[in-house]
Amino acid sequence: MSEQRKLETILLANKIVSGEQLNQIVSYAHAVGIDLCEAVLQKKVAPPEAVMMAYAESLGLPFVHFDDLSVDEEIAAQVDPMTARRCSFVPISIDQGHVLLATTKPVLPDVADELRMVFDLPVRCVICTPAELSAAIVKYFPRDAARVTKVERSPEPVPVVKEKPKPVEPMNDGEKKDRIWKTIITFNFTFAFLVFFSSTCLPKGLVNSTPLLLVVCVIVSGVAAGIAWKTLSR
């Protein structure tokens, strides 16, 4: 059974409207393009409270009076006033993991999804009269209320974990001998090259000062050998 058929049955069963009135209201609703509940309210053939109670019953939702409610203003403050006025709802409180919304008709799925993101909780609607809802919207979401700006949280920095240097295993005897041998070769090669270079390319005056030249060649060759030793180390 559709929601309209359920509402028609409840309206007749509770004698809120007569059969003749219902037929006229249904025709009016079709002609104007509104739902049956709103048509009954516009025709003013029954008290709004009785009509909204019947409507809530047809939806399987609770009917509430704002006089019996305690609106959590901290929850209401999280909703953008423009959205609340445009979609006609007032968040009341959190109940059993849901945010309760007082409204005259269930909010649309996209609005419910938007509110779920705001509260990080699903929403559930409760039905009230249009007059009570209008008064509550004026009270909690006046037109001069500031818009709620969603503050995006910046992602927390990911801690940088520095890798500990892997321990260097000691060299075995073969590696030690190879390292010493290559260092000696580097020293000898560098020394021989420097002696050859000095004897062929330098002025004779410098070449004649052999002790000084040998000292320089030994020092430079030692530096080269030291670099080779460091380079070959693990």
The Cα 4–Cα 35 span in angstroms is 8
Within this chain, do residues 33 and 81 fall inside the same structural domain, yes or no?
no
Tens digits of per-residue pLDDT, 120-150?
999 999 999 999 999 999 999 988 766 654 5
207-210-216-222 Cα dihedral, nearest 10 degrees: 120
Domain end, chosen from 59, 75, 92, is at 59
Question: Residue 162: is its pLDDT beyond 80?
Answer: no
Domain end, chosen from 40, 59, 78, is at 59
Instruction: Report yes or no on 35 lying in a domain.
Output: yes
| Furthest C-alpha separation in the chain | 135
- Count the helices and strands in the chain (H runs, E runs): 11, 3
> Domain count of the chain?
3
Label residue 178 by pLDDT band (50, 70, 90): confident
Tokens of 4: 């309209």
The Cα 33–Cα 23 span in angstroms is 15
Instruction: Report yes or no on 97 lying in a domain.
Output: yes
Instruction: Report yes or no on 17 lying in a domain.
Output: yes
DSSP annotation of 66: G
Within this chain, do residues 53 and 115 fall inside the same structural domain, yes or no?
no
Which CATH number characterizes residue 71's domain?
3.30.300.160
Domain end, chosen from 14, 31, 59, is at 59
Our measurement of the distance from residue 155's CA atom to the centroid of its chain's CA atoms, rounded to an integer in Å, reads 9
Phi, psi of 10 (to 5 degrees): -70, -40
Tens digits of per-residue pLDDT, 63-94?
999 888 888 989 999 999 999 999 999 999 99
Instruction: Report yes or no on 149 lying in a domain.
Output: no
Instruction: Report yes or no on 168 lying in a domain.
Output: no
Instruction: Report yes or no on 167 lying in a domain.
Output: no
Within this chain, do residues 83 and 52 fall inside the same structural domain, yes or no?
no
For residue 177, how many other CB atoms are within 10 A of its CB?
11
Instruction: Report yes or no on 38 lying in a domain.
Output: yes
Instruction: Report yes or no on 159 lying in a domain.
Output: no
Domain that holds residue 84: 66-140
The predicted model scores a pTM of 0.61
